[in-house]
Amino acid sequence: MVAASSIAVITVGFASWAYATLQSPPAPQPQPRAVNATILPPQAVLVNSRSFAALGNNGTFRQSALTEFFNPTNTSPPFFQVFDPAFLRILGPSATVRAVAANPTFAFAHEAPIWLPSTDEVTFASNDGGALGMSDIDHNNQVSKISLKEVAAAIKAAGHGTAAVNVSVTKLDLPDTIQMTNGGTGPFNGDLILINSGRGPLPPSVALVNPSPPHNTTVLLDNFFGRQFNSLNDAKIRPGTNKIFFTDVTYGFLNHFRPLPLMPNQVYRLDPETRAVRVVADGFDRCNGIAFSRDGKTAFVSDTGLNEGFLGNNQTQPATIYAYDVDPKTEAFKNRRVFAYVDTGIADGMQLDADDNLYAGCGDGVHVWGPDGTLLGKIFLGTTSANLVFAGNQRLVIMAETTIYLAQIAAKANKLSFP
Ligand SMILES: *[C@@H]1O[C@H](CO)[C@@H](O)[C@H](O)[C@H]1NC(C)=O
Ligand SMILES: *[C@@H]1O[C@H](CO)[C@@H](O)[C@H](O)[C@H]1NC(C)=O
Ligand SMILES: *[C@@H]1O[C@H](CO)[C@@H](O)[C@H](O)[C@H]1NC(C)=O
Ligand SMILES: *[C@@H]1O[C@H](CO)[C@@H](O)[C@H](O)[C@H]1NC(C)=O
Ligand SMILES: *[C@@H]1O[C@H](CO)[C@@H](O)[C@H](O)[C@H]1NC(C)=O
């Protein structure tokens, strides 16, 4: 952690730098005098909102939220883009980000990241139905894992610097009740919770999976009073009551591997004991990622309406994270309000840290907001991240389709393992 006095120094420096303006083409940024080089991580760049707030008649404006990124310093990814000094407290003085596993021809690391504390491994699922996913209506996607012990050893062997390493990826041999995994959380009583989109006529499901061989599985739910879901997407356990909340959305159909949707896109609550299921939120274009504040009182749901699968992208549709109050009795989501709208791509999977900062996988990497919805900074990858997970304190494992990144930062993890 950075000492409070150091943070105060940075804050002063940042404020004085606020009056610097960004020329076009970007001139070398004057470093804020007071920023101590040992505090600003080497991979971080400061981008003050005053430097780009008015681009002028001759300014270069972005037409696309998907293919044109916001990188006014033209820094090569991966790097930390700092919009607010509070991000430096999250990063700490020696933050690093690097690729730790990559396969350019296979989107093996899409979503469903789960950290297993007992073995220090992270499990995850490959892209289901999309580019480089090697899965479709006739072919299931793949759940795999990496070892963070192996990552640590590879980084140590590589010596100083932040060069990429490439650890082995191990496929999990799962029973065929698990079809097109897209979400995951836990562990829950030691098991993975996998959220499966289904494939063709095979039903979407919420399942418990033994993380160790033989990876035996208990399907907790695969229907709503006899009706199949559209294609389940993501889930979290709510702190306090330990109920499972999951999103259902039409992406299976929009990615050509599920039949015509027969349900609205909505958020459900499942009691893993009684298996009772109910709807807690609706009114979405396309609900997607889900997360809870540390106290379980606030729920966050992302709406990724912008991404319309085979229909294309429509940037006038939502790329928005909504916040809700969770009713203490019914656990219904109430008082919906906008938490954040993302400038690049969509906000897909979301996680919070121990200080209730919210991290989401977006079109150019991971965006990080303070609890009040201020965009503090980005872990800028120059490519899409669909999800991420803290692997304990100070380690953030980021899914980026063909690459897994590890960010070693000061932030502490939120609790995802229950009870
Ligand atoms: C940065 O701050 C640390 C801790 O306060 C101090 O030891 C170091 O000398 C400073 N470095 C520079 C370049 O000012
Ligand atoms: C904008 O471009 C026009 C035409 O090239 C030029 O005359 C003008 O000085 C420019 N304005 C600024 C503020 O650079
Ligand atoms: C990483 O290793 C895997 C084999 O384990 C290989 O398929 C892949 O191409 C390697 N990635 C890079 C970037 O070299
Ligand atoms: C896996 O099998 C063991 C032994 O029968 C059982 O105790 C455990 O509950 C099973 N796990 C799941 C997730 O079905
Ligand atoms: C994008 O969405 C808007 C709002 O629903 C709609 O009016 C427009 O026709 C859409 N554009 C395309 C190209 O589908």
Report which protein residue has its CA nearest ligand 5's atom 13.
314
pLDDT on residue 21: 33
pLDDT on residue 20: 32
Q: Residue 218 C-alpha to ligand 4 middle, in angstroms?
A: 8
Pocket probe mutation, ligand 2, options 55, 57, 60, 61, max atoms within 8 Å of Cβ: 57
Report the nearest atom of ligand 4 relative to the CA of 207. 13
Q: Which residues does 234 contact at the CB level (< 8 Å), separation at least 6?
A: 111, 182, 183, 195, 246, 247, 288, 289, 290, 349, 387
Query: Tokens 């505090």 sit at which residue?
Result: 39
At residue 14, φ and ψ (nearest 5 deg) are -65, -40
Residue 217 Cβ < 6 Å to ligand 4: yes
Q: Which residues does 175 contact at the CB level (< 8 Å), separation at least 6?
A: 215, 216, 217
* Pairing mode, strands 244-248 and 266-270: antiparallel
pLDDT on residue 40: 87
pLDDT on residue 1: 37
Please name the helix (run of DSSP H) or strand (run of DSSP E) that holds residue 9, with its range, or none. helix 4-17
Task: Please give the DSSP secondary-structure letter assigned to residue 86.
Answer: H
pLDDT on residue 160: 83
Report which protein residue has its CA nearest ligand 1's atom 7.
38
From the number of C-beta atoms within 10 Å of its C-beta (0-12, 13-18, 19+), residue 75 rates as middle
Strands (E), 329-373: 333-341, 350-352, 358-362, 365-369
Task: Please identify, in words, the CATH class of the domain defined by 98-408.
Answer: mainly beta
Nearest to 339 by CA among 358, 315, 353: 358
Report which protein residue has its CA nearest ligand 5's atom 9.
314
pLDDT on residue 39: 76
Parts of the chain belonging to CATH 2.120.10.30: 98-408
Ligand nearest to the CA of 187: 4
Residue 223 Cβ < 6 Å to ligand 1: no
Residue 4 Cβ < 6 Å to ligand 1: no
Q: Please answer whether residues 76 and 395 qualify as being in contact, where contact means their C-beta atoms are separated by less than 8 angstroms.
A: no
Q: Residue 168 C-alpha to ligand 5 middle, in angstroms?
A: 43
Pocket probe mutation, ligand 2, options 21, 23, 58, max atoms within 8 Å of Cβ: 58
Tokens standing for residue 30: 């004057």
pLDDT on residue 36: 52
Report the nearest atom of ligand 4 relative to the CA of 210. 13
What is the residue-level pLDDT of the chain in tens, covering all 419 positions? 333 333 333 433 343 333 233 334 444 444 443 455 557 899 999 999 999 999 999 999 999 999 999 999 999 999 999 999 999 999 999 999 999 999 999 999 999 999 999 999 999 999 999 999 999 999 999 999 999 999 999 999 999 889 999 999 999 999 999 999 999 999 999 999 999 999 999 999 999 999 999 999 999 999 999 999 999 999 999 999 999 999 999 999 999 999 999 999 999 999 999 999 999 999 999 999 999 999 999 999 999 999 999 999 999 999 999 999 999 999 999 999 999 999 999 999 999 999 999 999 999 999 999 999 999 999 999 999 999 999 999 999 999 999 999 999 999 999 999 99
Q: Residue 102 C-alpha to ligand 3 middle, in angstroms?
A: 6
Pocket probe mutation, ligand 5, options 286, 313, 314, max atoms within 8 Å of Cβ: 314
Residue 345 CA from chain centroid, whole number: 13
CA 61 – CA 189 distance, rounded (Å): 50
Q: Residue 36 C-alpha to ligand 1 middle, in angstroms?
A: 6
